[in-house]
A and B are shown apart, each in its own frame.
Chain A
Amino acid sequence: MSNMKIIVRDLSKVFNGRSVFRGVGLELSTGDSLAITGPNGSGKTTLMKILAGVLSPTSGKVEFWRDGKLFKAEEMRGSIGYVGPYVQMYDEFTALENLQFLNAIRDLRKDSKVFGDLLKRVGLYHRRDDLVRGFSSGMKQRLKYAVALSSNPEILFLDEPTSNLDDSGIEMVREVIRDQKNHGILLVATNDAAEAKWCRRILKLSGEVPTPR
């Protein structure tokens, strides 16, 4: 197992002249888990997107280190899994096709048994050949987990991890989180105090200078 590390230095983001957060600094290593909490508009999703490398910070930087070597955010694409409300699947494809195409885009070609196992894990195997257009919001959320987990990510970002999920879905998420904490880095953005307790550390964003504890 490689030793992964994320180092965040003095991160800040300004949207339309309004400071969302400033002075965020933290360090996470393999086995670490961090919950990002705060009221609506405090910048939880923005911070997650910056950490995942799809949004630029106004100042500060995010560094990815693996076994003592520095990697660019773009080089980490295959090692990141992201589940969030803004991540959408392709409605015109089936659950299985979504997995196949989205992995082909990452040049991660796997046989259909691997995808079948993933769909079983998230409870969608029986609907694998149905178009996503006909899925409920909970089923779409489960599919996002399947896509995020398909690369066996070293860093897993979960934004509102249990939204739209039923009891069995929430249990699936807890299992994913337990597994991730054993082999990688976990970041969870949530407003739910119970979900925040799943992580070892909590970063509270409140519009003031945040400090992890």
Chain B
Amino acid sequence: MVQADFEALWRSPDATVNLIAVRASFQYVKQVDMSNLAATYGVLTKDFRSEVRTRYAFNALLMFVVTAVTIILFALQEENPNPEVLSGMFWVVVFFSGMSGLSRTFVSEEERGTTLTLQLLTRSSVVYFGKLIFNILLSIILSVSITMLYVVAFPGFIVQSVSVFVISLLLGSVGLAAATTIIAAIIAKANTKGTLYPVLSFPILLPLLMTVMKATSIALAGGGIGEALEQFQIMVSYILVMVAGSYLLFDFVWND
């Protein structure tokens, strides 16, 4: 069945035919969703295998993380900053590391000339969600790596409330990926990719960064989930708005 068939069934004055339309619509949506899900997994697998082979994004991220943490370590020397400062610096490193690697998912397609190949083969929503999930995984790996380095490098970085910290880290990583994926798709077609990416990302990520910094400082100070609940609600809302907005916008960004 195609869209025109459903429309004809829906328009019928016969209630039984309308019921048939409801059932057929559910079956059609289920079939399309399963097909899209499998294709999205295909995009994710391709990107993962491609990353393992080329290490385009991973090397850029790793180098930036090590360099940034080392510089902060030298700058602080014997200083012992408070939780607010430490959590702020933590997310500054996450933000700039993300800027160095998270755009690769679209930029590498454009540089290799494979964008047209993907456009020809599959729906734009499949590409978007495949790339989004890949960036979420990359962001989580990035945040966890920075956390491990921080714990080793800064004795003052003691997480008092592990649950609040883990939730902050996960929501922060997903939010970072949600915002940077659509921006990466936009800047991939521009000539000045490297400059545009952080410039465009910063104002969009600002609400997320402010919230996640606050939640992380609560975790470092030993606050409970109830204390950080407002921050979590803002982050979840941010993620939903970013993903929904990106999904609606992506078709226009991807095609043409």
Q: Does A54 contact B (CB under 8 A)?
A: yes
Interface size class of A (residues with CB under 8 A): 20 to 34
Q: Which of A54, A90, A105 lies in contact with B112, CB distance below 8 A?
A: A90
Which of chain A's residues have a CB closer than 8 A to the CB of B35? Answer: 107
Closest residue of chain A to B35 (Cβ to Cβ) is A107
Given contacts A52-B120, A70-B4, contact A90 B256 (CB under 8 A): no
* B53–A93 CB distance below 8 A: yes
* B39–A104 CB distance below 8 A: yes
Interface residues of A (CB under 8 A from B): 49, 52, 54-56, 69-72, 74-75, 77, 80, 82, 84, 86-93, 97, 101-107, 109, 147
* B39–A105 CB distance below 8 A: yes
Q: Does B126 contact A (CB under 8 A)?
A: yes
Report the Cα distance A103→B255, complex, angstroms: 20
* B116–A88 CB distance below 8 A: yes
Binds A, one of B43-51, B152-160, B187-195, B202-210: B43-51
* B46–A101 CB distance below 8 A: yes
Report the Cα distance A141→B53, complex, angstroms: 23
Report the Cα distance A77→B123, complex, angstroms: 8
* B121–A77 CB distance below 8 A: yes
Q: Does B78 contact A (CB under 8 A)?
A: no
Whole-angstrom distance between the Cβ of A79 and the nearest chain B Cβ: 12
Which of chain B's residues have a CB closer than 8 A to the CB of A88? Answer: 112-114, 116-117
Interface size class of B (residues with CB under 8 A): 20 to 34
Report the Cα distance A69→B8, complex, angstroms: 12
Q: Which of A56, A101, A147 lies in contact with B45, CB distance below 8 A?
A: A101
* B49–A93 CB distance below 8 A: yes
Q: Does more than half of chain B's interface fall in helix, strand or loop, or is it mixed?
A: helix
* B120–A75 CB distance below 8 A: no
Given contacts A77-B121, A93-B53, contact A107 B116 (CB under 8 A): no
* A107–B120 CB distance below 8 A: no
Report the Cα distance A10→B255, complex, angstroms: 21
Which of chain B's residues have a CB closer than 8 A to the CB of A55? Answer: 255-256
* A56–B117 CB distance below 8 A: no
Report the Cα distance A53→B35, complex, angstroms: 20
Q: Does B71 contact A (CB under 8 A)?
A: no
Which of chain A's residues have a CB closer than 8 A to the CB of B42? Answer: 101, 103-107
Interface residues of B (CB under 8 A from A): 2-5, 35-36, 38-39, 41-43, 45-46, 49-50, 53-54, 112-114, 116-124, 126, 130, 255-256
* A105–B43 CB distance below 8 A: yes
Report the Cα distance A160→B46, complex, angstroms: 28
Which of chain A's residues have a CB closer than 8 A to the CB of B126? Answer: 105
Whole-angstrom distance between the Cβ of B126 and the nearest chain A Cβ: 7
28 contacts between A and B (CB under 8 A): A49-B116, A56-B255, A69-B4, A69-B5, A71-B2, A74-B124, A77-B122, A86-B113, A87-B116, A89-B117, A90-B50, A90-B114, A91-B112, A92-B50, A93-B53, A101-B45, A101-B49, A103-B42, A104-B38, A104-B39, A104-B42, A104-B46, A105-B118, A105-B121, A105-B122, A107-B35, A107-B42, A109-B38
Closest residue of chain B to A88 (Cβ to Cβ) is B113
Report the Cα distance A86→B116, complex, angstroms: 7
Which 7 A-B pairs rank lowest in CB-CB distance, beginning with the nearest? A104-B42, A88-B113, A92-B53, A105-B42, A107-B39, A101-B46, A54-B119
Which of chain A's residues have a CB closer than 8 A to the CB of B41? Answer: 104
Closest residue of chain A to B256 (Cβ to Cβ) is A56
Q: Which of B2, B54, B117 lies in contact with A92, CB distance below 8 A?
A: B54
Which of chain A's residues have a CB closer than 8 A to the CB of B123? Answer: 74, 77
Report the Cα distance A56→B124, complex, angstroms: 14
Which of chain A's residues have a CB closer than 8 A to the CB of B36? Answer: 107
Report the Cα distance A71→B3, complex, angstroms: 8
Which of chain A's residues have a CB closer than 8 A to the CB of B3? Answer: 72
* B120–A82 CB distance below 8 A: yes
Q: Which of B53, B112, B117, B255 lies in contact with A102, CB distance below 8 A?
A: B117
Report the Cα distance A104→B49, complex, angstroms: 13
Closest residue of chain B to A105 (Cβ to Cβ) is B42
Report the Cα distance A72→B124, complex, angstroms: 14
Which of chain B's residues have a CB closer than 8 A to the CB of A87? Answer: 116-117, 120
Report the Cα distance A104→B118, complex, angstroms: 12
Whole-angstrom distance between the Cβ of A206 and the nearest chain B Cβ: 25
